Amino acid sequence: MSVVVTRFAPSPTGFLHAGNYRTAVFAYLFAKHTGGSFVLRIEDTDKERSKPEYEANILESLAWLDLPADRRYRQSDNTARYRELLEKSVAAGIAYVSKETPRNPGDREEVIRFKNPGGAVSFVDGIRGEITMDVSDLGDFVIARSFDEPVFHFAVVVDDADEGITHVIRGEDHIANTPRQILLQRALGFPLPAYAHLPLILNPDRTKLSKRKGAKALTEYRDQGMLPEAMLNYLAFLGWNPGDEREYLSRKELIEAFDLTRIQKGSAIFDEIKLLSVNQHWMRALSDEDFAARGDFQTSDPGRLRSVVPLLKERAHTFQEAREMLSGELACFFREPVLEHDKLTAKELPNCPDNMTKSALEELLELVEALPEGVSAGAVKDALMPRADAEEKKGKGGRGAILWPLRYALSGQERSPDPFTLISILGPKEAVSRIQKAIAILEG
């Protein structure tokens, strides 16, 4: 086989989960690693369950992951080809029209069955090695409900042959299907593709990842603010590794490193906590400008946003989380805080002198007024921390009695960055204004 051709063949009968797309990732990476082609085939012969919105979601998900197909097919376009080969198969005696006794109302009275020669079928799996299965027990299995309605096994065999598929990479739940398909390939005179059956993906409780349990549509992760490079990286490492200590590989690096022989036989665990960690890595790898652009943040001050990006990189695991922070604990950077008297004095202890918070803020105000614009958080800390340390030594209210009202005066929030970071990003001028307003509240 001089040119590798792989395929991803999803059915548009529901939203596909990460396990399905891991198959697409492996098929794509193997094809591109070998200089081959990647085929997308929409298996939509289930007319009742196939929906346009599911197909659209498949295309949307592959585009987001940046797994472009070199060729695209739709199974429902091949009805005439299936009929042609079914008629030839019956005429050649390798299949026959079987009269059936319906077991249930509505069952077919005629189907087309393959004339099974029996014996054993062996094939070499690219992950598991040689597999031999006795096919005698399969009997003469059904390959079509009518000449215009082939079942899965027949349609897949015809499609793989017509599309020149050289390597079938799919989940291990398809191992049992392979002997039937090899029998059909031999009978129809088709070349046999190489097979590689991937280990299943499990939930953390080791139950199978499925549409019904624990699995989300891939676009849900996109809408949560996952980066496609992070998802691609994570999916590629579900059951595979590059053979070295690297954990974070770009698309180009994955293509260069991908090797079927490094796919493990055991099941992989889909761990959202690990996925979030991988996503945070790729978010942090972005430049501040790219981070701001890709986060789709809605703020009134782009300049201030760029100053806040390092805080978002430090805290957020997804862009959705980053957006929530901008309207939550980091909102103080974009709007004037609304202060409450009781919260300003919340850290005062009963044995503290009256108006301790007010006098502390007045002392800090003088220190902040002396700071230059563009001052770093470290320089702010160096200027203000000695005052807090002095209070700690007195054993009265401690550092909290100094730093809490300062932070609250600057942010108006119980959760926010430390006051040194707040002053650095807000700038001394704005910080002074906010501290003065807090003092005025305490005087009122």
CB contact at 8 A, 192 and 167:
no
What does the alpha-carbon distance between residue 259 and residue 33 come to, in Å, rounded to a whole number?
8
| Rounded Cα–Cα distance for residues 128 and 132 (Å) | 11
Listed in sequence order, the residues at least 6 apart from 422 whose beta carbon sits closer than 8 Å to its beta carbon are: 332, 407, 410, 411, 416, 431
CA–CA distances in Å: residue 79 to residues 110, 144, 149, 177: 19, 12, 8, 22
Catalytic residue among 208, 211, 381, 396: 211
Cβ atoms of 158 and 182 closer than 8 Å = no
- Angle at CA 410, nearest 5°, toward 404 and 414? 50
- Nearby residues of 361 by Cβ (< 8 Å), 6 or more positions away: 405, 406, 409, 435, 438, 439, 442
The question of whether 211 is a catalytic residue gets the answer: yes
Please state, in angstroms and rounded to a whole number, the distance separating the CA atoms of residues 123 and 304.
62
Find how far residue 62's CA is from the centre of its chain.
12
Backbone angles phi, psi at 343, to 5 degrees: -75, -30
Hey, how many other C-beta atoms are within 10 angstroms of the C-beta on 172? 16
Cβ atoms of 161 and 137 within 8 Å: the answer is no
Q: Which stretches does DSSP call E strand in 256-335?
A: 268-269
- C-beta of residue 95 within 8 angstroms of C-beta of residue 151: no
Size (the chain), residues:
444
Radius of gyration over every alpha carbon of the chain, rounded to an integer in angstroms:
32
Find, among 353, 292, 352, 337, the residue nearest to 431 by Cα: 337
Please state, in angstroms and rounded to a whole number, the distance separating the CA atoms of residues 237 and 52: 31
Distance separating alpha carbons of residues 425 and 30, to the nearest angstrom:
47
* Secondary structure of residue 410 in the 3-state scheme: helix
For 365, the token pair is 């105000």
| Tokens, residue 312 | 């978002």
> DSSP code of 7?
E
Question: Which are the catalytic amino acids?
Answer: 211
